[in-house]
Amino acid sequence: MQESTARQTFTPAYISLLERGELSERVAVAWHHMQDCDLCARYCHINRLKTTKGAVCRTGERAMVYSFGAHHGEEDPLRGTRGSGTLFFSWCNLRCVFCQNWEISHKGMGHEVEPDEIAGMMLALQAQGCHNINLVSPSHVTAQIISAVEIAARRGLRLPLVYNTGGYDSPESLALLDGIIDIYMPDMKYGDSDIARRYSRVRDYVKFNRAAVREMHRQVGDLVLDEQGIAQRGLLVRHLVLPENLAGTEQVLDFLAREISPDTYLNLMDQYHPCYRAREHPPLDRPLQAEEFETALALAARYGLQRLDSEQGRRRLAL
């Protein structure tokens, strides 16, 4: 299948909002949401400008950042030759028992930063030559991110923004991000909400996750690449295959093919291994077996999902 391509004369979505004077308005609205927080699908309704008590994300007025830098291990269209400019936010709105970055998401390792500092990180990544700004675990810090984008855009930021999320996002948050985010990269972790509640401690994951992916696709469409194969705009979905099909891979792939687009760019991930508290929750206490991933690849082929990240595509051709 021929990949969608775009001309090199690319302008990120948020520049249009900036030029119309709407980006600053979006910042004000986002901070208003923080006073009765509905910025993720947990709907804690806590005034996060005053307290973090009761908030699963444990994040108040200031975002926490663990690290930032050029990442060369992301998907092919994101890393390119110069890396994806990743910004790892501490804490998370999910509580996955098998989290591979649990020190960041569960323990909150990192330091508090103001939006101006986040903007400085974005501009530093641009100066390093990164292809994009990759916002990792952003769902609980939407307001802080939008504030930082406005500051950075006024100072010359012109890279596409990647919203790298666990997929438990609220429609209220996605409405604020419409016209700001260029590339949405949600996880679709589960095809069954009962499994999601057991292993990620969230309610109605599938309902919110699918609604979020629909809205993301409505905003940005299928993934568009430039002449060098670098992502500029669109949807890129991640799905981690779990032992004994706990992730509900067939349900996820069926949804993508039927309700989103058969041209969805998909990273079907095979790197599961036990982390954090996974050993307390069999069958998550063992690595993924090769035949389990081959079954997932075969399902992708059955549902006509052809745009797999390159290593997966090569493996499928070898089947």
44-68: per-residue pLDDT in tens? 999 999 999 878 999 999 999 999 9
Percent of residues, the chain, with pLDDT higher than 70:
95
Identify the pLDDT of residue 6.
46
Q: Tell me: the pLDDT tens digits for 175-226? A: 999 999 999 999 999 999 999 999 999 999 999 999 999 999 999 999 999 9
pLDDT for the residue numbered 91: 96
Higher pLDDT, 194 or 7: 194
Q: With bands split at pLDDT 50, 70 and 90, how would you rate the model's confidence at 239? A: very high
d(CA 95, CA 20): 39
Residue 8's pLDDT band (boundaries 50, 70, 90)?
low
List pLDDT tens digits, range 99-152.
999 999 989 999 999 999 999 999 999 999 999 999 999 999 999 999 999 999
Residue, of 80 and 8, whose pLDDT is higher:
80
H/E stretch holding 122? helix 115-127
- For residues 70 and 129, give the distance between their C-alpha atoms in angstroms, rounded to a whole number: 9
- Which residue in the block uniquely carries the two structure tokens 């745009």? 307
- Give residue 310's pLDDT: 74
Q: Is 240 helix (H, G, I), strand (E, B) or coil?
A: strand
Residue 249 contacts by C-beta under 8 Å, 6 or more apart in sequence?
Answer: 191, 239, 241, 295, 296, 299
Rounded to two decimals, what is the model's pTM?
0.94
For residues 142 and 139, give the distance between their C-alpha atoms in angstroms, rounded to a whole number. 6
What percent of the chain is modeled with pLDDT above 90? 92
Cis peptide before 283 (omega within 30 of 0): yes
Residue 50 is encoded by which pair of tokens?
């005053």
- How far apart CA 68 and CA 164 sit, in angstroms, is 14
Identify the pLDDT of residue 53: 86
Q: What is the pLDDT of residues 256-277, one digit of tens each?
A: 999 999 999 999 999 999 999 9
**5-317: CATH class:** alpha beta
Domain boundaries along the sequence of the chain? 5-317
pLDDT score of 2 more than 60: no
